[in-house]
Each structure stands twice: as C-alpha cells, then as structure tokens.
Structure 1
Amino acid sequence: MAHAAPASGPRTPSARTRTPDVFSERTHRIASWATASALGLVYGYWVAANNRSGGPITGWNILLGFVSALVFAALWTGIHALAPQMRRELHALLWASFAGCAMGFLYGQTDASVLRSAGMGLAIGAATFAVLFFRYYTHEDAAGHRIR
C-alpha cells in the first residue's frame, strides 16, 4: 500500500506555535486554588482515616484531618508558586521532599514505627526525585529555560 511522502520545504512558523489558551488567567488561578483545596481535603481525610484505624470518629480526629488538609494545601500552593523559578535539580528536590514528607507523615498515622515511616518517606521521595528530575532534564535546554 502506498503512502504519500511528507512534503519537504521550509516549515511555516505557525506549524510550530502552541495552541491558543482558551481559558483566562482568572480561570487558571481558580483552578489552581481548587486543585490545592481538593488535594488538601483528600489528604486530610486520608490522614484522619489512618489515624483512627477504623475506630470511631472523634473531634480530635476531625481536627487532625482539617489541620492536615490546611497545611497540605498551603504547602502545595507555596511549592507550586516557588518551584518553577528554580533550576531543575532544586525544582525536583523540592517536590520530592514535599512528597516524601507527606507520605512519611501519612504512613506514620498507621501506628508504624518511626524508622519505617521515615524509610517509606525516603523511598517515595527518592522515586519522586528520579522521575521529576528526568522530566525536567528532558524539558529544559542547557541554560535551564523551559522548552514549550
């Protein structure tokens, strides 16, 4: 079966441009806050559920869940604003330390030992660092500018 050969010649600049952004800056800002809030609530619920270990829901358990959700959302928002301005190594390290600490605290609520919780946090942090460093390394030029 024959296929048409690609046309050779100069490419037009419009062929390499990005697709237009159909959402406004306000919509992106709302989506950023909504993402942080939703992830914070999921994380807070997960912490509270791990902490009570299937027992009754208490006021302290609810307070732990909401405080965990608030801290998670605040850290997520701060890192989300700060990390893209850093070099790829620090960018990946910041997200990896956040993921490792979040997972270590979450795992620590299951009455596991401190060493096991720290080990789980380190393992998740190391895996996150490897994946994100590879992603940022392949999506930046030598000067550290993002390739879009």
Structure 2
Amino acid sequence: MAHAVPTPGTTTGARTGTGPSRPGRRTTPDVLGPRTHLLVKWGLPVVTALVYGYWVASVRRHGGPITGWNLLTGFMSALVFVILYFALRAVTRRLPPEIHAALWGAFAGCALGFIYSGSGVAMFTSILASLLLAGAVTAGLVYHYYTRRDPGRARPSGTT
C-alpha cells in the first residue's frame, strides 16, 4: 500500500491538524495541548528533582531518624539537580548530537554516583556504577539521535 509523503510547504491534512510541515521534522498528531506541554516541560523536572532529593536524604540517613540536616541535604540536592537539569537543557540544544548525548550521560552518571557514594560502598564501586550508567545513557542517546535525524543532513553532498 502506498502512502503520500508530505513535502515541505504543504499541509499534512486534516488528520494531524498541525498545518504546514517543516523541513526535517516528522508531523505526528499532537494529542496534548500547549498548556499540557508547558506543564510537563517545567513540572516533570521539578517533580523528578524532588524525588531525587528525597532519595538522597533517604540514602544518607541509613535508616536512622529524620533530622534537620537530613532534610537540608535532600532539599539542596533537589535544588542542585533541577538547576543543573535546566542549565543542561538550555545548553545542549545548540550542540552536536554526540556532545549532547555525552553531557546527558555525564549528568545521569554524576547523579547516580552522588547517591551511590552516600550509601557507604567503596568509592571504586560508586565510580564504576556511574561510569556504566553514563556510558549506557550516552550510547542510547547517540543511537536515538542518529536513527531519527534528517536524511538530507546524514551525509555531506558529494560523498558516497
């Protein structure tokens, strides 16, 4: 069965309702509204940071009572996490895919390494676990970016 491929500058039809397509972008139906996208764009990182802060505080507590220092550690960890997340999200948009993936991998690896080092394990184990996660996130993102990039930009013109 043949399907029509939208060309740049033409509408994609009533099915998507997105209007003219942009070159190099897939036009898929958008089931969520702009308000929901904005809420997810800002709310999800904040909620993730709060969960991360709670996790740090829980690991640092070692099953003991909740103290003021423990709460301060959790909230400061959440604050640093969300600040680094938003800074990284703003910076990586302008970078090539390889560096973009490496920075997000380093962020994930450092976040895990910080939590894991607070549990009292050997430093080598913490470093190894964070390097494994950083490598896995980087490899996954490189794969994601290269399997979904614009075919027109895949190779410079004139190469085989």
Q: Is this a same-fold pair by TM over 0.5?
A: yes
TM-score normalised according to structure 2 size:
0.76
Give the one of 53, 63, 67 matched to 1:58: 67
Structure richer in helix, relative to its length: 1
2: CA distance, partners of 1:127 / 1:17: 29
Q: Which has the higher contact order (CA 8 A, sep 6+)?
A: 1
Structure 2: 5+ residue stretches without partners: 7-11, 14-25, 155-160
CA-based RMSD of the aligned residues comes to 2.1
TM-score normalised according to structure 1 size:
0.81
1: CA distance, partners of 2:5 / 2:101: 35
Task: Please give the residue correspondences for 1:35-50 in structure 2 after superposition, counting only pairs within 5 Å.
Answer: 35-50=44-59
2: CA distance, partners of 1:127 / 1:12: 34
2: CA distance, partners of 1:58 / 1:75: 26
Which of 111-120 and 64-73 deviates more? 111-120
Q: 1:12 to 1:135 in 2, by over 3 A?
A: closer
Percentage of pairs with the same residue? 41
- Say which SS state the counterpart of residue 54 (structure 1) adopts: coil
Q: Tell me the matched-pair count.
A: 136
Over 4 Å off, 4+ runs: none
Q: Which residue pairs with 2:80 in the alignment?
A: 71
Give the one of 25, 31, 55 matched to 2:40: 31
- Say which SS state the counterpart of residue 93 (structure 2) adopts: helix
**Is 1:18 the equivalent of 2:28?**
yes
